[in-house]
Chains A and B, each alone.
Chain A
């Protein structure tokens, strides 16, 4: 294995909650003066609660090593401490305790387009942004054509960026970032912006960087991205490092643990039934399982999903109703639909208390998906609409038993069974 290029030892980070200090000079001086005189601090909290109570540890003793050429994904729930680690590594803030050692030049991308000035032209901003990220002027000049081509903004190069569309702005910003030549790259979830085509281009570029033997540390909530880009992964929860190892093993473990948590509820019981719909049957809860009846929220491609709905029956003038499901991907695009309508020769009486639907093998590529349910009489009455009924993950699987699986980075959402001859 290569050399260790980042060595993180016992990293602790404390944040103070609430008011950091008195925020006015006179009061601080008052406190300081009374401390010198040995008096009680006139500004201390009266009920005797010690002032240290408003502190919290964002990181608690995190240690890890990263070797040269590793692409490490940091995963964990919101607030687990992922960003704090990246902030310390990129020297935006300091650790409270602990040491980090580096070998090689570091560049960090906690945000794209840092320091862009709206009045300056695209060209000027490329230089400014590049310099902020640590590139020398000569270096940027050398790469200028490449950056401009990558961002696809040739005609607007000498227009102030305040006139750019937001898409152009982001493309330009990422183009600069993608051409950083540092040996270590720290990337926050910057890929969350931009249109899908550009996103793919960026991920491709990052993959390229990774293959050049550069070290990347990467935060993402998108497990398929982690799986396709990273060879290692760090799992963090509540400021503690839970696991560090092979990316696929860790992401699977993380998804399993997430499934146990409240984030994806299965069955998902509705907290409140909306009152803005017509009198009629309402969904109380939903659960999904495999064909054997095991509740789960992680499926592989080509696996059937069984949906079970519990319904609070409510009779309206109509005697029947139809149920519809919509399938959305993580970018919220609606990618599939299925319905019980007169066309499908299935409608239900309004006294129904439970419904089930077997969705035949969906050949989805890995990613996060959600189901939406609608109860209605087509073109006539709307009884219920539950947009975020349930979420599930499609994880990578070896559908063709070839020893390989389809990565989640392709712009397609579906895998269709096919045969080459």
Chain B
């Protein structure tokens, strides 16, 4: 053995990860794998279905129709003067993206235990691929939104697109980061506490009602407004509606707060995730 010589090693395995071991370079090296995971998710979901990817459109469309009927026509919730259909459609699409990212990511460790137990690849590829898969769905659904949007724009005077439309990419990135962050926190904790798996889908459902999806923030009772101010998803949806439909306003302060919360959640998620990913095979 060549002792003494200062040898450089390509890879060193040590007992524990640091608190923040990101290895983005490694993730980049495995970009093909991320693409293939996205492809796998896309193909496997719609194999042996008649409508195939059309489900991307049907799901939000039907939800929106039901919401319009139940919340708009029966409950007669206000929509800040926006066309109810567009109002609900925008809320449903955005919320669906966020919740799909969160729920999809939150199962990472438990669902992939059999793969993670047999071969090493950057574990972050799985949640990242979930976020990207959902981005495809979001894109398709956004095109659907645009079609209705243009229809209303031509036929109606109720909507006023704002220059804030350019903020759209930031909003999408923020939702992705939020879903990813919360999802990673949950998936890291589920390796020890299985209770959380039951909580997640249920919790996300309840969370929707604490977010201005089926009602505008302006109709929220004043003494409960603090709920919206700590809910990082609320300003995202509000800002989106303001930018496209022109009702309500951007509350810059609450949006900045939500961005800070998002960054915090994302970092907390990555920290927990990289802490858990190395040893979870022994505990899962």
Contacts and interface: CB of A to CB of B under 8 A. Distances in A.
Interface of A: 3-4, 7, 15-16, 20-21, 23-25, 28, 65, 87-106, 108, 110-111, 114-115, 117, 119-120, 124, 127-128, 131-134, 136-137, 160
Interface string B205-243: 000000000000000000000000000000000000000
A119 B118 contact: no
A92 B115 CA distance: 10
Contact of B1 (A4, A23, A88, A111): A4
B120 A108 contact: yes
Interface string B223-267: 000000000000000000000000000000000000000000000
B10 A92 contact: no
B160 interface: no
B16 interface: yes
Interface stretch (B83-91, B147-155, B175-183, B274-282): B274-282
A90 B193 CA distance: 27
6 contacts: A21-B283, A23-B194, A28-B193, A87-B281, A92-B117, A124-B39
Contacts of B15: 94-98
Contacts of B44: 117, 119-120
**What 7 A-B pairs come out closest when comparing CB atoms?**
A91-B120, A131-B33, A100-B13, A101-B9, A102-B11, A137-B32, A119-B44
Given A94-B16, A128-B40, A131-B32, A101 B11 contact: yes
B13 A117 contact: no
B120 A120 contact: no
Contacts of B281: 87, 92-93
A66 B279 CA distance: 25
Contacts of B33: 131-132
B132 interface: no
Interface string B102-133: 00000000000011111111000000000000
A65 B1 contact: yes
B36 A88 contact: no
B47 to A, nearest CB: 5
Contacts of A88: 13
A93 B116 CA distance: 9
Residue of B13, B44, B116, B193 with highest tally of chain A CB at under 10 A: B13
A42 B146 CA distance: 58
A300 to B, nearest CB: 36
A111 B119 CA distance: 8
A25 B115 contact: no
Contact of B119 (A23, A104, A114): A114
A28 B283 CA distance: 15
Nearest to A125: B40
Size class of the contact patch on chain B: 35 or more
A88 B116 CA distance: 13
Given A24-B195, A124-B43, A101 B12 contact: yes
Contacts of B27: none
Nearest to A98: B15
B119 A94 contact: no
Contacts of A89: 13
A28 B14 CA distance: 27
A128 B36 contact: yes
B40 to A, nearest CB: 6
A102 B9 CA distance: 6
Contacts of A128: 36-37, 40
Interface in B188-206: 189, 192-196
Interface string B28-51: 001011011101100110011000
B2 interface: yes
A25 B1 contact: no
Nearest to A162: B47
A133 B43 CA distance: 21
A252 B204 CA distance: 61
A102 B10 contact: yes
A100 B9 CA distance: 10
B47 A119 contact: yes
A328 B3 CA distance: 50
Contact of A4 (B2, B12, B16, B278): B2
A162 to B, nearest CB: 10
Contacts of B2: 3-4
Contacts of B37: 128
A269 B40 CA distance: 56
Contacts of B9: 7, 101-103
Given A3-B2, A21-B192, A105-B10, 5 more contacts: A4-B1, A95-B14, A102-B9, A108-B119, A124-B39
Nearest to B11: A102
Contacts of A160: 47
A155 B14 CA distance: 46
A136 B36 CA distance: 11
B193 A94 contact: no
A16 B281 CA distance: 12
B11 A119 contact: no
A181 to B, nearest CB: 15
Nearest to B45: A119
Nearest to A118: B44
Contacts of B48: 119
A99 B32 contact: no
A99 B10 contact: no
B120 A90 contact: yes
Contacts of B282: 15-16, 20, 93
Nearest to B16: A94
A132 B115 CA distance: 9
A131 B36 contact: yes
A15 to B, nearest CB: 6
Contacts of B43: 119-120, 124
